Structure 1
Amino acid sequence: MSQTRKVIITCAVTGSIHTPSMSAHLPVSAVEIADAAVEAAEAGAAIVHLHARNPLDGRPDQSAEAFAPIIDRIEKRSDVVMNITTGGSPFMTVEQRLRPAAHFKPELASLNMGSMNFGLFPMLERYQHFRHPWEARMLADSRDVVFKNTYQDIAHVIETLGGHGTRFEFECYDTAHLHNLHYFWREGLVKGPLFIQTVFGLLGGIGSHPDEVLHLKRTADRLFGTDYVWSVLGAGAAQLRIAAMAAAMGGHVRVGLEDSLWAGPGRLAKSNAEQVVQVRHIIEGLGLEVATPDEARALLALRGDGSAAA
């Protein structure tokens, strides 16, 4: 019999979209974020996608000082692949967003592949009571924000991190982002296998209909042939549905409280690990196996030192 295909689970444990008032289970402090990452790894995640937050009010924090205790605690307890965000928050400059990855030089870092509207304001219809003033203000301000990722910004991230052996999770929120990535690949500025994370269901990007999943997959196949590894994330209620679809189509998956606070209709996820277990059941129910961190490193051609720092 042929070898069972391995599926990489990425867990994005806190992000910058959801705010502390939306769920008591959203990790905020360094200890909470690190513990959530380790628990996700123990549940089956091969990669943890990391943001940091101010421990006092939960707002996004892209300082190296905020990331240091998270990374240190994870390194001491797990061999999981640490993926440090360069997305940060749409309200930050690229230099602010780049700081932690430039400092720690991780095996893997995220990289958004194009500028876009980034509409979080519809969440104001669902949540009216906030513990911290910044939460409602951030959501409202997203009516007039462009998440800036110009060609110059993208090249700057690649040049800053690439020399240290950092590879990228290329986050593609729409068809044009795949074409942007194709430019950098065609010019030899990034090398395969490209780890392409197609993102569905965020206002400003492509939707979450199955036709849209198929469209991005077909486009990536046409542009990159076999020189890429495909993964998906679905926002909100689309999370597990899109993960199941992608796993059945040969892809990899991302879950976590950054992308969805829910474990089912009207039921908040109590932890990131709960979502990892849910998607693991889907993967194994399809007769597939979950990749270990070292198997993910091999599939993605990562540096393989098991450390965030070079």
Structure 2
Amino acid sequence: MLQEVFITCAVTGAGDTAGKHPDLPVAPEQIAQASVDAAKAGAAIAHVHVRDPDTSAGARAPELFAETVDRIRSADTDVVLNLTTGMGGDFYWNPDDPYKAGPGSDLAHAAERVQHVLQLKPEICSFDIATMNFFDSAFISTPDLLVEMGELIKSVGTKPELECFDLGQVRLANHLIDQGVIDSPALFQICLGVPWGAPADTESMLAMRNLLTADAIWSGF
């Protein structure tokens, strides 16, 4: 496994955090500037989400990604771009009609989830290997959808960062590697402490690390 340390800075995320800090980047120019500032401070990778400039809510509009990426690429930095593909899998239970997704759900097919990656061809994109309870909702990425997304991502030469929140997701990621959907050496991100995945402790990180392929490149939080 790779022993060198590299720092990734996630400058805004997609959570409901816009009202919690006055300087949270929201508009594309703010997100781009935060990414450039992080790179100049020592970050090797900028993990980029975008937000609706009017509502500050997390968004997946390709034009917002395009403006943000264009601004970063035109700046004086060699930061590696890691664009999220985590939007489009949010399901909220509808107590009034269990056969329909509830308010706040955002479900999209594979091509929609990676549209901005196919257009912008970043060096890396996040790839959530997860169907799981996630805070008060569920996040859905079924194995067949992951295969389709993985093949689309591979077609433009972007490296998927396999985000795993629990042990079973590492197993599924390894299966995708065995199938040839993901090229080796695979890039893993071990994600701990997110409700309701693995807890943020040493034992969980070691258990997940020990399931990784021998040539894996990995980081964690």
TM-score by length of 1: 0.62
Q: Tell me, what secondary structure is at the counterpart of 1:200? A: coil
1:86 aligns with 2:85: yes
1:209 aligns with 2:201: yes
**Counterparts of 1:110 and 1:42, CA distance in 2:** 22
Contact (CA 8 Å) 2:124, 2:161: kept in 1 or not? yes
Amino acid at match of 1:214: L
> What is the CA-CA distance between 1:207 and the residue it aligns to?
0.5
**Counterparts of 2:153 and 2:205, CA distance in 1:** 30
Partner of 2:42: 44
Contact (CA 8 Å) 2:118, 2:156: kept in 1 or not? no
Contact (CA 8 Å) 2:128, 2:163: kept in 1 or not? yes
> What is the CA-CA distance between 1:160 and the residue it aligns to?
1.2
Partner of 1:14: 12
> What is the CA-CA distance between 1:93 and the residue it aligns to?
2.3
1:153 aligns with 2:169: no
Equivalent positions of 1:61-140 (< 5 A) are: 61-77=59-75, 78-88=77-87, 90=90, 91-95=105-109, 96-119=112-135
1:199 aligns with 2:186: no
Partner of 1:56: 54
Contact (CA 8 Å) 2:153, 2:160: kept in 1 or not? no
Q: Tell me, what secondary structure is at the counterpart of 1:170? A: strand
Contact (CA 8 Å) 1:28, 1:58: kept in 2 or not? yes
**Counterparts of 2:85 and 2:154, CA distance in 1:** 13
> What is the CA-CA distance between 1:218 and the residue it aligns to?
1.8
Equivalent positions of 1:171-190 (< 5 A) are: 171-190=163-182
> What is the CA-CA distance between 1:105 and the residue it aligns to?
2.1
Larger % of helix: which? 1
Contact (CA 8 Å) 1:51, 1:88: kept in 2 or not? no
> What is the CA-CA distance between 1:43 and the residue it aligns to?
0.7
Pick the aligned partner of 1:229 from 204, 217, 220: 217
**Counterparts of 2:87 and 2:181, CA distance in 1:** 23
Q: Tell me, what secondary structure is at the counterpart of 2:82? A: strand
Q: How many residues align?
A: 201
Deviates more, 1:8-17 or 1:32-41: 8-17
CA RMSD of aligned residues (A): 1.4
Q: What percentage of aligned pairs have identical amino acids? A: 33
**Counterparts of 2:143 and 2:108, CA distance in 1:** 12
The Cα offsets for residues 89-115 of structure 1, whole Å up to 9 and x where unpaired, read as 634324343221122122211100120
Structure 1 residue ranges (4+ consecutive) displaced by more than 3 angstroms after TM superposition = none
Structure 2: state its 5+ residue gaps: 91-104
Greater relative contact order (CA < 8 Å, ≥ 6 in sequence): 1
Amino acid at match of 1:92: D
Q: Tell me, what secondary structure is at the counterpart of 2:8? A: strand
Partner of 2:100: none
**Counterparts of 1:172 and 1:23, CA distance in 2:** 28
Contact (CA 8 Å) 1:62, 1:99: kept in 2 or not? no
TM-score by length of 2: 0.86
